[in-house]
Structure 1
Amino acid sequence: MSTLIYGLITGFLFGFLLQKGRVLRYDKQLGALRLMDMTIIKFMLSSVIVGMVGVYLLQDLGVAKLSVKSLVLGPVIIGGLIFGLGWGLLGYCPGTAMGALGEGRFDALWGILGMVVGAGIFAEAYPWLTATVYTWGDLGKLTLPQMLGVNHWVVIPVFIICAVLLFRWFDKKGL
């Protein structure tokens, strides 16, 4: 039960940060899709960096265990295309759809309904998918540090430096 409560608390916190970062706004979503406003990209890249540092720190402290899923190109490519199509048509991704609904924008219900229907279709198609799509391009359990043959604390600072440089470049360009 405590795991569910932690998930609920972190979900509310993440939603609060989405709202405060103004990434729930349609104009920010459209700007990201048109590569004219990098607010969402900055927010998500910051989230990835914080998550990366947190996960590896917790792993090194022995508090958590990193469980890497196998990289299978078929479902990643098809899922990415479906995700991108939905985001482009609706103007919300799954997290921002829930946040936008929380702000009272009821058009987000279409996206949430689409996610529920899509989850149902996926559940029904799963046996077929595991026999076909989930066999296309299985590269195994990979992490970038493993691929490079270095400790993860060598890769993390490089990501942080690249993100800071990218953010500065976005700011110079007015993005």
Structure 2
Amino acid sequence: MSSAERSPLFLPAIYVGGLVFGLGLAISGMARPEVVLDFLQFQDFGLLFVMGGAAVVTGITFFVATTFLGRAPITGDEYKRRVKSFDRNVVIGGSIFGVGWGLSGICPGAAYASLGIGNYPILWAIAGMFLGAYAQGYWRSARSADATEQEADHATSQD
């Protein structure tokens, strides 16, 4: 199903989902970096319960949806598993994400929710996320262009 065929409820559902997620982070205190840093220093395990509760709700939802529904209700997309290979990029990206999370005390979703509760210094962390994403995109594009150029050179040398 293309984006033109999606339900008119698709974008409102995304916005409502983001709002509920942000409110949940704010109410649980997870939008405050000091709470996350306390968790990472083994001083407050509240985050463990928040994440565990979210995992249980998500697991039940995915089980029910994939068992009883053939397609996603709003998008009409088929439920299917998307498997990502476990490679060097996953390890490096996960490590960078973890270090950033530990240094700033906040992950990307919670950083935006943190803005909503008035934590404006978090803009530095958000700027770092954007800079990192831009650098990764630039690096990947340059690497892809180099690979394409090498393939073209190899093809012409074969002729």
* Range of TM-score over shorter length: 0.7 to 0.9
Asked which structure has the greater CA Rg, the reply is 2
The Cα offsets for residues 38-93 of structure 1, whole Å up to 9 and x where unpaired, read as 11122112112211211121111123303322232322211111111111211211
1:25 maps to a residue whose letter is R
CA RMSD of aligned residues (A): 2.1
SS in 2 for 1:72: coil
**Structure 1 residue corresponding to 2:43, chosen from 24, 36, 42:** 36
SS in 2 for 1:66: coil
In structure 2, what is the equivalent of residue 85 of structure 1?
A: 99
Q: Partner letter of residue 66 of structure 2?
A: Q
Q: Distance in 1 between matches of 2:12 and 2:86?
A: 32
The residue identity in structure 2 corresponding to 1:102 is G
Pick from 97, 117, 121 the counterpart of residue 131 of structure 2.
Answer: 117
**How many angstroms apart in 2 are the aligned matches of 1:109 and 1:27?**
15
Which stretch shifts more, 55-64 or 95-104?
55-64
- Report the Cα distance in structure 2 between the residues aligned to 1:50 and 1:71, rounded to whole angstroms: 26
CA contact (8 A) 1:29 1:40 kept: yes
**Match for 1:67 among 81, 94, 107?**
81
* 1:8-19 correspondence runs (5 A): 8-19=15-26
Q: Distance in 1 between matches of 2:42 and 2:11?
A: 36
Q: Distance in 1 between matches of 2:56 and 2:89?
A: 24
Q: How far apart in 2 are the matches of 1:23 and 1:105?
A: 12
CA distance in 2, matches of 1:66, 1:41: 29
Give the aligned partner of residue 46 of structure 1.
53
1:23 paired with 2:30, answer yes
Seen in structure 2, the aligned counterparts of structure 1 residues 82 and 7 have a Cα distance that, compared at 3 Å, is: same
- In structure 2, runs of 5+ residues without a counterpart are 1-7, 73-78, 148-159
Contact 2:33 2:104 in 1 (8 A): no
Alignment deviations for residues 1-23 of structure 1 (CA, whole Å, 9 cap, x no partner): 53222111101001101111111
Structure 1: state its 5+ residue gaps.
133-175
Native 8 Å contact 2:22 2:113 kept in 1? yes
CA distance in 2, matches of 1:3, 1:93: 25
1:59 and 1:9 map into 2 onto residues whose CA distance is 22
Q: Scaled by the length of structure 2, what TM-score is found?
A: 0.73
Count how many residue pairs are aligned between Structure 1 and Structure 2. 131
Aligned partners of 1:55 and 1:66 also within 8 Å: no
Partners of 1:17 and 1:55 lie apart in 2 by 20
